[in-house]
Amino acid sequence: MSAMARASASASAAAAHNVFVYGSLVADDVVRVLLNRVPLSSAALLNGFHRFSIKGRVYPAILPVQNHQVIGKVLFGITDPELHILDEFEDVEYQRSLVEVSLLESSDKLQAHAYVWSNANDPNLYGHWDFEEWEGAHKESFMKMTSGFMEELELPESKPRVATYESFYHQDAEK
């Protein structure tokens, strides 16, 4: 049974979503911290978008750009509560949108949620974001920040993820 067939079989058991990820959430370790599991996934391509670096941030943004494409992966079988966690994690900087992606192993096209940068005219976006570079330079500290975010999320007065990110990395810079 293919990953897609398993995902659609599990989707019929409960409301499940496909989510296209292209940045820190490509790392299974980060997803595990957020969702307490690593969902089935498949490498995928999003046409008509570009993945930018963001000045002062270690994570990327995507925006529609003609004749560009972003390679990432689709997480299958994301439940409503998990989608809520991802919404909180992506915070107000991103807007969840439905996009069409192509699975790399089969070329099948499917609809998936993707987190698109909210500010299309953001002057802090530049160049191209590289996953391998992020993984080597920032993954370990990003995982600590993500754990802190999840601890915050449990509190009644939780801070937005951006505030958690900024306080974590500001505190890191002072060491």
Q: Which of 49, 43, 58 is nearest to 146 (CA)?
A: 58
Q: Residue 109 and residue 46: Cα distance in Å, rounded?
A: 10
- Taking a C-beta distance cutoff of 8 angstroms, is the pair 53, 111 a contact? no
Distance CA 139, CA 127 (A): 20
The upper half-sphere exposure of residue 149, i.e. CA atoms within 13 Å in the direction of its Cβ, equals 27
* Across 128-140, average pLDDT: 96
pLDDT per residue as tens digits for the range 16-62: 999 999 999 999 999 999 999 999 999 999 999 999 999 999 999 99
pLDDT score at 169: 67
Report the alpha-carbon distance of residue 172 to residue 150 in Å, rounded.
18
More confident residue, 72 or 167: 72
CATH 3.30.590.10 fits 3-129, yes or no: no
Cβ contacts of 122 within 8 Å, gap of 6 or more: 54, 61
Determine the residue type at 174: E
User: What pLDDT is stored for residue 161 in this prediction?
Assistant: 64
The strand pairing partners of 94, in sequence order, are 117
Q: Is 90 a catalytic residue?
A: yes
Q: CA-to-CA distance for 120 and 97, rounded, in angstroms? A: 14
Give the sign of the dihedral formed by CA 159, CA 160, CA 163, CA 169.
positive
pLDDT at 174: 45
State residue 10's pLDDT score: 44
pLDDT at 3: 52
Say how far apart CA 3 and CA 23 lie, in whole Å.
21
Confidence of residue 15 (pLDDT cuts 50, 70, 90): confident
pLDDT at 9: 45
Select which of 82, 90, 132, 152 is catalytic: 90
pLDDT digits (tens, 9 = 90+) for 138-153: 999 999 999 988 988 8
Render the burial of 77-104: b for 16+ CB within 10 Å, e for the rest: bbeeebbebbebbbbebbeeeebebbbe
Instruction: For residues 147-166, give the mean pLDDT.
Output: 74
- pLDDT at 102 > cutoff 60: yes
91: left (phi over 0), alpha (psi -120 to 50) or beta: left
pLDDT at 8: 47
